[in-house]
A and B are shown apart, each in its own frame.
Chain A
Amino acid sequence: DTGVSQNPRHKITKRGQNVTFRCDPISEHNRLYWYRQTLGQGPEFLTYFQNEAQLEKSRLLSDRFSAERPKGSFSTLEIQRTEQGDSAMYLCASSLQGLSTEAFFGQGTRLTVV
């Protein structure tokens, strides 16, 4: 297993278009997280899944954002009607469930909305 995989690595889209990103976690990890990071800031939590259940969503996750993890394995993050303010790095992480388990991050998808 090579770790958390995210695709695509880069995406340029026009304002108003929809985009979808994919995350493949480490295979035995049942927790999956999405974060967003803008330039010069630390990552900000968006949402998290335990298996296929979406258990927590940040207020940052507006109604234009939707995340799914249909079979408890890979996850997708869709942004509808993109805005320039959506330009950021979108990071996915996965972990095991447990008392003190570390999360492993992917390399991220860099979104540029023009």
Chain B
Amino acid sequence: DAKTTQPPSMDCAEGRAANLPCNHSTISGNEYVYWYRQIHSQGPQYIIHGLKNNETNEMASLIITEDRKSSTLILPHATLRDTAVYYCIVRVAGETSGSRLTFGEGTQLTVNP
């Protein structure tokens, strides 16, 4: 699985958009970009994933650059409950692949009132 690079920490004001960057310059054509977050003392929570196209769900939007070497997770209106460690993970996806997730150290997002 390709390595990812994320800033160790970021701050965001409540109600504003939080934009979390991730670099994955060695990503392969068959690797998806996944985002998880982990609120203190809880298990990781799936947010969103994508391959090439931008994706949006009820939690967030995922913007993947055309060359797929980086991506941005956008939380459109951050709340205090979005304070968490956010992990960007690239993963080979396939019917027979192991599908393990390789977590890095993530970005600690702090949403301030």
Check if B25 is an interface residue, CB within 8 A of chain A.
no
Q: Is the CB of A42 within 8 A of B103?
A: yes
1/0 contact string of A16-46 vs chain B (CB within 8 Å): 0000000000000001010100001111110
Which residue of B has the minimal Cβ distance to A6?
B43
Contact of A106 among B43, B94, B95, B99 (CB under 8 A): B43
Query: In the assembly, what is the distance between CA of A4 and CA of B42, in Å?
Result: 12
Question: Within the complex, what minimum Cβ distance (angstroms) separates B56 from chain A?
Answer: 15
Q: Is the CB of B95 within 8 A of A99?
A: yes
1/0 contact string of A98-110 vs chain B (CB within 8 Å): 1111111111100
Q: Is the CB of B98 within 8 A of A103?
A: no
Q: Is the CB of A42 within 8 A of B98?
A: no
Question: Within the complex, what minimum Cβ distance (angstroms) separates B13 from chain A?
Answer: 26
Question: Within the complex, what minimum Cβ distance (angstroms) separates A69 from chain B?
Answer: 15
Task: Check A42/B105 contact, CB under 8 A, given A33-B100, A102-B49, A105-B44.
Answer: yes
Q: Is the CB of B106 within 8 A of A100?
A: no
Task: Check A103/B42 contact, CB under 8 A, given A41-B105, A42-B104, A42-B106.
Answer: no
**Chain A: number of interface residues, binned into ranges:** 20 to 34
Within 78-114 of A, Cβ neighbours of B (below 8 Å) are at 91, 93, 95, 97-108
Chain A contacts of B32 at CB under 8 A? Answer: 100
Chain B contacts of A40 at CB under 8 A? Answer: 105
Chain B contacts of A101 at CB under 8 A? Answer: 93, 99
Q: Is the CB of A43 within 8 A of B93?
A: no
Which residue of A has the minimal Cβ distance to B89?
A42
Check if B54 is an interface residue, CB within 8 A of chain A.
no
Chain B contacts of A98 at CB under 8 A? Answer: 95
Which residue of A has the minimal Cβ distance to B105?
A42
Q: Is the CB of A55 within 8 A of B46?
A: no
Check if B45 is an interface residue, CB within 8 A of chain A.
yes
Contact of B93 among A56, A99, A104, A105 (CB under 8 A): A99
Residues on A lying within 8 angstroms of B by beta carbon are 4, 31, 33, 35, 40-45, 48, 55-56, 91, 93, 95, 97-108
15 residue pairs bridging A and B, Cβ less than 8 Å apart = A4-B43, A33-B100, A35-B101, A40-B105, A42-B106, A43-B101, A56-B100, A93-B101, A99-B94, A102-B34, A102-B49, A103-B99, A105-B44, A106-B43, A107-B43
